Amino acid sequence: MTEPGIDPKLFRNALGKFPTGVTIITSKHGDEQIGMTISSFNSVSLNPPLILWSIDKSARSLPAFTDSKNFAVHVLADDQQELSNLFARQGADKFAAASIETGIADVPLLTEYCARFQCEVEHQYDGGDHIIIVGRVLDFDVDEDKDPLVFHSGRYAQLVKAELV
């Protein structure tokens, strides 16, 4: 239900003014590898190490993600726009075009990333039209040589490094 006086499209556009990273969430549901592109990733706590992300309740893969006990978050590098687009599509054979390895609890892991977090589901919360999934980080990797892919105002962007005064 929409709040009175709040236009959902204008609200979404306003939220788009906040630049976010672009991530791919992967998991395994039975024998099926699942994955999707999201921008709702955020840190929660350093001790214990917790992160969160959210999934739309209308997403086709919702049951697969909410039933899974483990997942991985891949922060995409600025040269991974095509991979982001692939994992954003429904019905695509997403893993055929990606180089993967197996992580904790057989979760598929992308081998290319800016940062990667292997997680166990800690909590799931109702969040309006989304489910919020909180994960405890069990392991993580960082590629210090890569910069993140950024999403802002409905478009991909890259960081521009400026000298700070």
pLDDT tens-digit readout, 151-162: 998 899 888 877
Give bridge partners of residue 52 from the DSSP assignment.
42, 134
> What domains can you pick out in the chain, each with its CATH number?
8-15+22-158 (2.30.110.10)
pLDDT over 70 at 3, yes or no: no
Whole-number Cα distances in Å, 125 to 27, 46, 55, 57, 128: 19, 20, 11, 12, 10
- Residue 2: pLDDT band with limits 50, 70, 90: low
Phi first, then psi, for residue 153 (nearest 5°) are 55, 40
pLDDT over 90 at 8, yes or no: no
pLDDT tens-digit readout, 37-70: 999 999 999 999 999 999 999 999 999 999 999 9
The Cα 153–Cα 119 span in angstroms is 29
pLDDT over 90 at 93, yes or no: no
Q: Is 150 exposed, middle or buried (0-12, 13-18, 19+ CB in 10 A)?
A: middle
Give the pLDDT confidence score for residue 148 in this predicted structure: 95
Question: Whole-model pTM?
Answer: 0.92
Q: What is the mean pLDDT of residues 129-154?
A: 96
Give the pLDDT confidence score for residue 162 in this predicted structure: 78
